[in-house]
Amino acid sequence: MSEPWRAVMLTLFPEMFPGPLGFSLAGKALETGLWALETVDIRAYARDKHRSVDDTPFGGGAGMVMRPDVVDAAIRAGRDPRGPLVYLTPRGRPLTQDRVEALAAAPALTVLCGRYEGVDERVLTAHEAEEICLGDFILSGGEPAAICLLDACIRLLPGVMGEAASLEEESFERGLLEYPLYTRPQVWDGRPVPEVLLSGHHERIRAWRRAEAETVTRMRRPDLWARYQAEGKEIRS
């Protein structure tokens, strides 16, 4: 059996893991050894009697900053060298499905979970941390974002999802958002399922789904739609 995909979390709150990742598909995959989780308590590498991990920022300003010496020690002790070191921060590059696929394809991933106002820039530079952003919003710390990132990666690991075809039809896999989904009952609250989905005509259904995916992407994500058009994938009528 091949080595499991390994996730290392550098955090001040190791008890937050696995959290939601201990349930459903991710939890079953963890139990069966498809992936492995290790938490590293950053505070264990503090050097004073108060176990201080932060200090006031040079130049003034509100809040506290995580110390480079403490974070460096935690990284050196816990990082898995077989994969990238990711630091989740609002100033990072937006996370994309392509990047998730690349992270899941690597043997391991180490995630640095920041707290307070952030982490001293020098330690991020020294370890060439990849800065990633989940969206234009602020969280209280990196742990919730790390859980989202891990979930996105874990579901792509071989053996985690039941059907590979279901992955191919999801949002972002073809540069589009996912088409609308329907199930029983056939009529609910006076709203019927679109007739084409009941036709049994697979080509018509595929064409309808792609057209719907294009429509929803054009309306809700003009940035994705512009990229999709630039790549020449749009259906021409």
Burial pattern 11-44, b for ≥16 Cβ within 10 A else e, equals: bbbbebbbbebeeebbeebbeeebbebebbbbee
CB-count burial class (<10 Å; 0-12, 13-18, 19+) for 76: exposed
Can you give the pLDDT at residue 231?
Answer: 87
Better-predicted residue by pLDDT, 152 or 48: 152
Can you give the pLDDT at residue 132?
Answer: 98
CATH of 169-230, one of 3.30.1490.100, 3.40.630.30, 3.90.550.10, 1.10.1270.20: 1.10.1270.20
Q: How many CB atoms lie within 10 A of CB 69?
A: 13
Can you give the pLDDT at residue 70?
Answer: 97
pLDDT category at 232 given cuts 50, 70, 90 is: confident
pLDDT at 162 over 50: yes
Can you give the pLDDT at residue 165?
Answer: 46
Better-predicted residue by pLDDT, 231 or 237: 231
Residue partners of 3: CB distance under 8 A and separation at least 6: 107
| Mean per-residue pLDDT, 92-115 | 97
Residue partners of 61: CB distance under 8 A and separation at least 6: 117
Average confidence score pLDDT of the chain: 93
What pairs with residue 11 in β-bridges? Answer: 41
pLDDT above 90 coverage of the chain, percent: 88
pLDDT category at 185 given cuts 50, 70, 90 is: very high
57-80 pLDDT, tens digit each:
999 998 999 999 999 999 999 999
Can you give the pLDDT at residue 164?
Answer: 58
| Mean per-residue pLDDT, 144-148 | 98
pLDDT at 237 over 50: no
- What is the CATH architecture of 5-154? 3-Layer(aba) Sandwich (3.40)
Can you give the pLDDT at residue 170?
Answer: 64
Instruction: Answer yes or no: pTM beyond 0.95.
Output: no
Q: Please, where in the chain does CATH 1.10.1270.20 lie?
A: 169-230
Q: Please, where in the chain does CATH 3.40.1280.10 lie?
A: 5-154
Can you give the pLDDT at residue 74?
Answer: 98
